Amino acid sequence: MNAPWHCKTPCIMGIVNVTPDSFSDGGAYFEPQQAIDHGLQLAAEGADILDVGGESTRPNAQPVSPQEEVDRVLPVIEGLKDSGLLLSIDTRHAETMRAAVKAGAGMINDVTALEGEPGSVEAAAKSGAYICLMHMQGQPQTMQDDPHYDDVIADITAYLRGRIDACRAAGIDQSRLLVDPGIGFGKTLAHNLTILRHLEAFEALGVPVLLGLSRKSFIEKLCPDTPASERLPGSLAGALWGVQRGAAVLRVHDVAATRQALSVWQSIREIP
């Protein structure tokens, strides 16, 4: 399947969490049919990509075995493969990558940028899928303990450039790659805001930029006492800022609201 970001920008990636413990909607779509129905609803609302995940990587999340992850996501991918959308598997496990692509996924979204397991680069290379390489400092269990950078933009850019080079060395064509600076993954509030302020810097890597900030805790830090379910206004503000700074893909929980916001923004921008 052709990548939707080659046809239009920005694209919307709808989140389908098949988990009991994700920070925003953990448990809401844990049963396969609930997750399938949710994915189809996101498609109807205007999603271009559906990102299916079976392991939460929120701060302090506990790891899930590859087999348990596969058991969670495969029925959902199989149930969504005829949706007409590009399906993405959100995983850091090589076994899950292989199984998900075989079941119908055409994209791998890895928070470890294919460093999570020794066989991940090889599995991704052989899959033929598109691959999103995300930056994360540390591991989910510890990444928010004391994040530190000499220069957050330069450090993340250098890391992602290294991962692109590693993929190319493994035979992965650069046209299959995207990058995600990893908002909230081993970053303080100041780091997150700096990344957003200078998001266009990542375009120098020569691949599309995916931005995932939907409902994340940095919004609550800016707007105290705002639970995840009430962070839509902040999410939309961040999304619109991101597309103005070059984001090609927005990973979101609230597809319909994001699609409406983008439609208004793009209509205003296109007026001479």
Q: Which residue do the tokens 């413990």 mark?
A: 21
251 part of the active site: yes
| Chain centroid offset of residue 215 CA | 13
Report which of 251, 249, 244 is spatially closest to residue 265, judged by C-alpha positions.
Answer: 244
Binning pLDDT at 50, 70 and 90, where does residue 29 land? Answer: low
168 part of the active site: no
Q: Please state, as a whole number, how many other Cβ atoms lie within 10 Å of the Cβ of residue 217.
A: 19
pLDDT digits (tens, 9 = 90+) for 207-265: 999 999 999 999 999 999 999 999 999 999 999 999 999 999 999 999 999 999 999 99
Predicted confidence at residue 25, as pLDDT, reads 53
Note whether residue 4 is domain-resident.
no
Note whether residue 109 is domain-resident.
yes
Q: Which residues contact 46 (CB under 8 A, 6 or more apart)?
A: 12, 255, 256, 259
Average pLDDT score, the chain: 93
pTM score: 0.94
Whether the CA torsion 181, 183, 185, 186 is positive or negative: it is positive
Instruction: Show the domain range for 177.
Output: 9-270
Note whether residue 1 is domain-resident.
no
pLDDT digits (tens, 9 = 90+) for 163-175: 999 999 999 999 9
Note whether residue 2 is domain-resident.
no
Note whether residue 243 is domain-resident.
yes
User: Among residues 92, 187, 215, 251, which one is catalytic?
Assistant: 251
Query: How many structural domains compose the chain?
Result: 1
Note whether residue 3 is domain-resident.
no
| CATH for 104 | 3.20.20.20
Note whether residue 99 is domain-resident.
yes
Note whether residue 216 is domain-resident.
yes
Predicted confidence at residue 24, as pLDDT, reads 56
User: Among residues 98, 216, 231, 245, which one is catalytic?
Assistant: 216
